[in-house]
Each structure stands twice: as C-alpha cells, then as structure tokens.
Amino acid sequence: MAPTPTMEPLSGEDEWRRMEREHPVMRMTRNDKEAGMDYVNTPHVVAMVGLPARGKTYIAMKLARYLNWVGLPTKVFNVGDYRRQALGSYQGHDFFHPRNRDGTNIRNKCALDALQDVCEFLQTGGMVAVYDATNTSMERRKLIYDVVCERMGYKLFFIESICNAPNIIETNIMECKVTNPDYTNMEKEDAVKDFLKRIEHYRLFYEQLDEEKETKYSFMKIYDAGRRVVVHKQEGHIESRIAYYLMNIHITPRSIYLTRHGESVFNQLGRIGGDSDLSYRGRQYANALAKFIAEQNITNLRVWTSCMKRTIQTASGIDAPQERWKALNEIDAGICEGLMYEEIQEQYPEEFAARDQNKYSYRYPRGESYEDVVVRLESVIMELERQENVLVVGHQAVLRCVLAYFLDKPGVELPYLKVPLHTIIKLTPQAYGCKVEFFKIPIDCVDTHRSKPVVTSSDEGKEEDMRGAASGSGGDVIDGVQVNVLRGLVEGLSMGDNRHIRAEESLQGAVGGVSLPESARSLAAFRRPRQ
C-alpha cells in the first residue's frame, strides 16, 4: 500500500484547464468517412454516471453485449483500466480524495486518454462507444458533451445508476469490487473498508444529473437496479433501443436452461428443417429431460418451446407452465427445406459454397439467414431478461443465436457454436459474464454439428457431420467447458438396446407420425461412413 499523500486545497482548476487545452482529444475533429453509416446515421457515445458500486460496469458490459449481438459494433472503455495501466499497483483510497492533487491529475489524464480512444473507435467503424467512468461532476459531463457533440458531431446519451438500497450496494461490493484487480493482494475485510472510504471520497463532489441545469443532455436515470427509471430527452432509434433494453434487465439470481429437442426423424435421415416427430431415441431423451428437470427443484420455472412438434414433444413430460414461441422456430431453409446436405451440394452448388463463405449473413433462397434469426429473437431475449428461471427447448440455429448473446460471441463464430443433441446447457448470469455448464444425457443420437470448413469451394472440404451414429458432444469438453455426463438419468429407459433403429420404425412410433416424400423413405437407411 502506498503511503498517504499530502493533501492540498481544492484549487486544481488551473492544472485541469491546462491539461484540458493541451490534451490531443481537444484537437480531434470528425472524419466523415466512418464505416457502417447505412445502419446508424450517427455514432453514439454512452457515458455512465454514478458513484462506485452502483452497477455501472455491469450495465456497460451488458449493454455492449446486447448491441454487438444485434449488429452494432460496440466497445466499452473503462477509465479504471486506464488508471491501472498508468499506475500498476493500487494506491489506496486516498488516491481518490479530491484534495490529492497528484491523484486527481492522473485520473483526469486517464479520463481524457479514454475519451480520445472513444473518438478514435467511432472514427474507424465503431457504432457505439460506452464510456465507463464515474463522471460525477457537471464539469466533467460538460467536457464530454463538448468533445463528443460539439467537436466530433456524435450523439451522447448519459446513463446514471443511482442506488440507495444497502443490500444492493453490499452485493455489488462483494461480488464485483472486492475481486477486481485493485484488491488482488488484499484481505477481503480490508478491501471492503478501503472501498467504502473510496466511495465517500467520490461522494464529496458527486452531482446527480439535473434536468434543469443539464437540460440539453439526453439521459436516463436508473434507481435501485431498475425499481424506477427516468428518461430525459431521449432522441432517436438507438437511444430508444438502449432505454427499452435497460428497462428489462434485472439482477435477481436465476438460471437459464437451453436444450435442443430430442433427436428427430429428420435428424436420423440427415435432412434439415421440416416439422418431423421425435425418433425413438428422441422420445427417450424427452423422458430423461423431464426427470432431470424434476430433480433440480427449480423454483418458478417456465418452459418455452417453438411451435414445432419436436420441441413440444420433448417438453411434454415436464411439470411446469409452458409457452409456445413462433420466434423460436428453427431457421427457415427455404428451397432447401427437407434436403440432405449432400443433396443441397448436388442441386444447388453455388448456394452451398456461398453459405460456407459467410454462414452468418447467408440467406437461403426464400428462407432465412442467421442474421435474420437474431432479429426475430430480439423479443425472446428481452423476455428472457425479464424472467427468472426458464428452460428453452429449441433448435440448433436458434439456440446458437441465444447462446451467442449470453456468451458475447461475434457473428463470425455464432454459426459454429456447439449445441449438441441430448445435452442441457445451464447459464447462470454473473456480475460481468455468464457461468456455463453442460449436462449430457448419454442417449445415442446423430451428430449435427458441422465445423467451419477450411476450404470453401463448392466441391472441396465438405466434411459434413449430418450423418451420424454416436452422440454429438465431440467428447467430454465443449469449447473448453467440462461436460457433466448424467448416466443415472437413463436407468430404466431400456438403453441396453443400441441396435440401429430404421427411420420407418421411428415414423410409426412417433407421436402423431410424419409425412415424408417417397424419396425420403427410400433413403431412410442411408448412412455414409465417416472418412
């Protein structure tokens, strides 16, 4: 811990004015060649406001994750990170006292450095920059406005988090601050004491956003983690979207369970899309899933499925309120619905190659792209953020999109995320991220995952994993996360018989049956060996 510095009177305005005049950010001007103007007319800066331990960084990171997911390149600029880079080791709470001249100068420079990087990010194709700092004085907010709006011509939206609930503040301190890099080498009790004093230093010069004195600013104020929200002079589509999103999030502990439907008849045939029933093994998975959910004793669980038979059948044995979402239906493959990948490659070679070139944005003729699916899933994400414990029984492409949102995965990675059949993914939102757990039920199924091809011509490098035999987790680790294999759930499900089940038998046994073209029936036993 650094020695206590000598305090000086609050008279550092001359130094601040000099730094403000001389810093490179004050010489920046807007470059009118920014990329991506077809989506957002004007780049935005979102500036956080509030005392420490009020959830500003939580809001900033969550908002950035959402905006990136919907296609707006967004980045968070945390001024605390700039301070840590400038100083190395933590200096103690006295560093943040307003009478600490050296500390104030360093913090001011870090704030200006971060603001400069914000502007450079927006000049090079960024759409939204989140300026994550306390910004607790009117003077600081005026500087941000002058640089962002007057000098650069961007839009500015302040988000102030105000929290007076002791339990929320205590939770924020324990979950977020005590484990941050500032307190790595400090006992938890000492870290809490230091941080509380740090908050009091900020409180000395804290000025809340004022609708009368700062009337020209656009901002929203969030009280006690969403108990009350005030929006002032919100302008434009992006600010409206941000405000609506932040009105829907909450901090109540909960878990979200994701699982694909059990193996379907079309899965066995290696065909995409359609509305087929579950196979014999898929029905076994449905029984095991119901058993798993019952054993978890999840309070206030809600079950969401698509409107397709295979998800409804998978969830049929679960004792919980259920809702059907058309938005959760599988990606529409258009003219390729019901075809095998080999048939698509043969009949539509150009389409097959084009999808490999850019799987996220490629749209099936008369169908959808992953990008389209993200758009229709936005309402689902909003409701997921409002809910507590939810089980989503969905489809591979749809759950990839949902998983990409919670794990902050970019569009280039989204279409290749692993979402195996007969596997439950448990997501537990945490302070600055999401804990992921995989639970595999060992019931054989086809492997429908297709890795990103190395060669993207129409006739090479097409190792397609839609023809399967064994289960599709690819081992006991998925994307670096250990998979929990739940062998006990299959007891009593007659799993000893692992003979190949012909598709015709699955058709006869599936609930409601399924209508297949004659060509599909003739290919029912088709299985090409792995190469």
Q: How far apart are CA 219 and CA 502, in angstroms?
A: 62
User: Binding site annotation covers 265?
Assistant: yes
User: Nearest to residue 61, comparing CAs of 78, 85, 45, 44?
Assistant: 78
The reply to whether 413 belongs to the active site is no
- Largest alpha-carbon pair distance within the chain? 88
CB 74 within 8 A of CB 129: yes
User: Binding site annotation covers 88?
Assistant: no
User: Nearest to residue 169, comparing CAs of 55, 63, 92?
Assistant: 55
CB 95 within 8 A of CB 84: no
User: Binding site annotation covers 264?
Assistant: yes
- 148 contacts: CB under 8 Å, gap ≥ 6: 45, 47, 115, 118, 119, 154, 155, 156
CB 112 within 8 A of CB 19: yes
- 220 contacts: CB under 8 Å, gap ≥ 6: 157, 158, 159, 160, 229, 230, 231, 232, 234, 242, 243, 246
The reply to whether 261 belongs to the active site is yes
User: Binding site annotation covers 422?
Assistant: no
Extended strands (E) in 69-120: 74-78
Which candidate in 44, 261, 422, 449 is catalytic? 261
User: Binding site annotation covers 148?
Assistant: no
User: Binding site annotation covers 366?
Assistant: no
Which residues pair with residue 392 across a beta bridge? 258, 304
The single-letter DSSP state of residue 297 is T
Q: How far is CA 104 from CA 36, 98, 187, in A?
A: 37, 6, 26
User: Binding site annotation covers 101?
Assistant: no
User: Nearest to residue 121, comparing CAs of 110, 132, 130?
Assistant: 130
Which candidate in 330, 351, 371, 385 is catalytic? 330
User: Binding site annotation covers 358?
Assistant: no
Q: What is the DSSP string of 454-466?
A: S--STTS------
Q: How far apart are CA 148 and CA 108, in angstroms?
A: 17
Q: Residue 300: which region, alpha, beta or left (left: phi > 0; alpha: psi -120 to 50)?
A: left
- Distance separating the N- and C-terminal Cα atoms of the chain: 61
Q: How far is CA 90 from CA 338, 403, 440, in A?
A: 60, 36, 44
SS3 breakdown of the chain: % helix, strand, coil, rounded to 5?
40, 15, 45
User: Binding site annotation covers 263?
Assistant: yes
Binding-site residue numbers for substrate are 260-267, 310
Binding-site residue numbers are 260-267, 310
- Provide the annotated active-site residues: 261, 330
